Amino acid sequence: MTKVPMVKLNNGVEMPQLGFGVFQVPDLSQAEEAVTNALQAGYRLIDTATAYQNEEAVGRAIQKSGIKREEIFVTSKLWVSDFTYDRAKKGIDASLEKLGLDYMDLYLLHQPYGDVMGAWRAMEEAYKAGKIRAIGVSNFYADQLKNLELTMPVKPVVNQIEVNPWYQQADEVKFNQGEDIRVEAWAPFAEGKHNIFTNEKIAEIAQKYGKSNGQVILRWLVQRGITVIPKSVHRNRMEENLNVFDFELTATEMQTMASLDKNESQFFDHRDPVTIEQIFGSSLKQLQ
């Protein structure tokens, strides 16, 4: 079984550098099976969120696994509909209840909208009370992150953002790492867009090491000091994604990967007002 390296967050908590995500697996039985298989394959970081609507399934898989609780690093996220102080307190407790856990290892603000400061205050309190071992954010740009850092007593430990070969976010990664905030990549495979799994430049590197394009991408992220949470519901792909710690890309190969950057999100622009209103507007209206 592959042993995944641990990285130390800025509050001293240790976190696996590679984990398993359950985004877009709303079917509870499928999600439970996927997490069960992931834990059996050797994953010890499981990433879910309130918005994924599968926290219960993640919790059941963890409880049935027979693995000691302290050996599994569990992440969930608060959705914007709970971004006030009072709602966030209830949202944290709701996540714990759905997961069936006494504590979460990491809890994130899922988006940089709504009453971020109020929600963060509630998370700080839960952190100090031992309900959460570490708190962070997701999808925050550098200025939004700096605003939170300067305003609130507890510094985020993680910023979970989109990072993949087509959208490398070099400046954002550099800023976060300079602030001692761990970057965690979601959508590392860009959901297969632009034929990422057959791209010739990546495939040439992969062939050299007897690896797949996906493994090269994960290795490239790990070598950038990024934590990554690939998702798959297929056991063979889960195992393949874990097997990226027995080779290392050369400086030239890292430059080849860097040359693939299209500098465009493969999903949506978090700063486009129309997109914000379309995707998050209904949740934000609940807070008015």
Over residues 146-203, the pLDDT tens digits come to 999 999 999 999 999 999 999 999 999 999 999 999 999 999 999 999 999 999 999 9
The two tokens of residue 263 are 């500098």
83 burial (CB, 10 Å; 0-12 / 13-18 / 19+) is buried
Q: What is the pTM of this model?
A: 0.95
Which residue of the set 43, 52, 113, 167 is catalytic?
52
pLDDT at 31: 94
**Does position 278 have pLDDT exceeding 90, yes or no?**
no
5-23 b/e (C-beta count within 10 Å ≥ 16 → b):
eebebeeeeebbbbbbbbb
Structure tokens, 224: 């950038």
52 is catalytic: yes
Residues 6+ apart with CB under 8 A from 233: 25, 30, 33, 34
Number of neighbouring beta carbons within 10 Å of residue 262: 14
Residue position matching structure tokens 């007593």:
153
Residue 281: predicted pLDDT: 65
pLDDT at 66 exceeding the cut of 90: yes
Residue 285 has pLDDT above 60, yes or no: no
Please tell me whether residue 183 adopts helix, strand or coil conformation: strand
DSSP summary character for residue 153:
S
> What are the backbone angles phi and psi of residue 173, rounded to the nearest 5°?
-60, -45
User: Which element (helix H / strand E) includes 55?
Assistant: helix 55-65
Look at residue 286 in the predicted model and tell me its pLDDT: 53
Q: Which residue has the tokens 């394009």?
A: 213
